[in-house]
């Protein structure tokens, strides 16, 4: 196998065919993510940006935006938007005809993360350099709301979405009972983000798949699938592991002296949990 065939087999084909992740592209994307995170940290610190509570909150709209855009693409790729019949039909016809959300590199993982990441860097950098700190986040929030409105007519499995939120919220509440204070702002959101991701996977695979025969979801990530196989076909251990790991990371970060560094790492953990968690939950709710 030459380099072209290798690259196509492990990187291009999984995206084009919607096959998900494999060990090779997983490691590659992880390395790229670490390098990108380091460079972004250096860029913003050089600009004098403090990674405080306010900054962390301002990043959340971008996470919500990326996840909803991804689900709009999912709704088209799976035919969910095409099958819809209702008042929103003319709007969906325009969206489908535009081909903006067609399944491709920039609208699916990992491309969508690069697109939203670049958008976030540019708008956040401008926001801080211009002194208009809320410009970028407000723009991202507006776009998120727009895409959420696009998805609203597709909401069908609302009960399962409520179960996901209830489970993730309950786990976070228990965490806050045990640990009320931390040197990390939004430390509870670190746990909530990972709990949401784990809960979405657990409810989808263990509950929805076993109760709704018409449609089945599958896990595309290598590690999650390994845990699923290891524990006899259940995602409950995956959920427990993610929550425990998040709590341990918070504890470890509290011993870090540099406040900016530990806040930034905490923010990354929030992103890596909240982004897939929101996407998986919305996919399930929309039935796509």
Q: Give domain status of residue 163, yes or no.
A: yes
Q: Give domain status of residue 88, yes or no.
A: yes
Structural domain of 255: 155-288
Q: Give domain status of residue 33, yes or no.
A: no
> What is the percentage of the chain residues whose pLDDT exceeds 90?
69
Same domain, 135 and 209: no
Same domain, 140 and 262: no
pTM beyond 0.85: the answer is yes
| Final residue in a domain of this structure, among 131, 154, 177 | 154
Who has greater pLDDT, 154 or 31?
Answer: 154
Same domain, 185 and 233: yes
Same domain, 164 and 274: yes
**Residue 33, pLDDT score:** 87
Whole-number mean pLDDT of the chain?
A: 91
- State the total domains in the chain: 2
Residue in this structure with the two tokens 């790991």, named with its chain if needed: 245
Q: Give domain status of residue 193, yes or no.
A: yes
Same domain, 281 and 161: yes
Residue-wise pLDDT for 133-184, tens only, equals 899 999 999 999 999 999 999 999 999 999 999 999 999 999 999 998 899 9
Same domain, 133 and 246: no
- Ranges 27-36, 111-120, 124-133, 143-152, most confident: 143-152
Same domain, 62 and 72: yes
Residue-wise pLDDT for 48-91, tens only, equals 889 999 999 999 999 999 999 999 999 999 999 999 999 999 99
Same domain, 120 and 160: no
Average pLDDT over every residue of 247-261: 94
């Amino acid at each position: 196998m030459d380099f072209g065939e290798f690259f196509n087999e492990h990187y291009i084909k999984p995206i084009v065919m919607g096959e998900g992740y494999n060990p090779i592209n997983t490691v590659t994307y992880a390395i790229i993510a670490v390098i990108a995170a380091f460079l972004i940290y250096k860029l913003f610190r050089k600009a004098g940006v403090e990674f405080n509570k306010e900054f962390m909150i301002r990043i959340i709209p971008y996470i919500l935006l990326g996840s909803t855009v991804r689900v709009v693409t999912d709704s088209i790729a799976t035919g969910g938007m095409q099958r819809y019949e209702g008042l929103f039909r003319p709007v969906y016809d325009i969206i489908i005809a535009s081909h903006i959300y067609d399944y491709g590199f920039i609208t699916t993982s990992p491309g969508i993360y690069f697109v939203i990441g670049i958008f976030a860097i540019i708008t956040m950098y401008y926001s801080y350099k211009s002194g208009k700190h809320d410009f970028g986040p407000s723009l991202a929030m507006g776009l998120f709301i727009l895409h959420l409105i696009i998805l609203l007519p597709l909401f069908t499995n609302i009960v399962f979405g409520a179960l996901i939120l209830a489970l993730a919220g309950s786990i976070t509440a228990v965490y806050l009972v045990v640990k009320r204070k931390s040197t990390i702002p939004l430390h509870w959101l670190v746990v909530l983000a990972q709990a949401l991701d784990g809960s979405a996977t657990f409810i989808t695979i263990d509950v929805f798949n076993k109760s709704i025969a018409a449609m089945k979801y599958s896990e595309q990530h290598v590690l999650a699938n390994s845990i699923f196989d290891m524990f006899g076909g259940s995602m409950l251990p995956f959920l427990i592991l993610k929550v425990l790991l998040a709590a341990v990371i918070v504890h470890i970060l509290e011993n870090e002296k540099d406040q900016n560094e530990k806040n930034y790492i905490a923010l990354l953990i929030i992103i890596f949990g909240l982004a897939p968690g929101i996407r998986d939950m919305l996919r399930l709710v929309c039935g796509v």
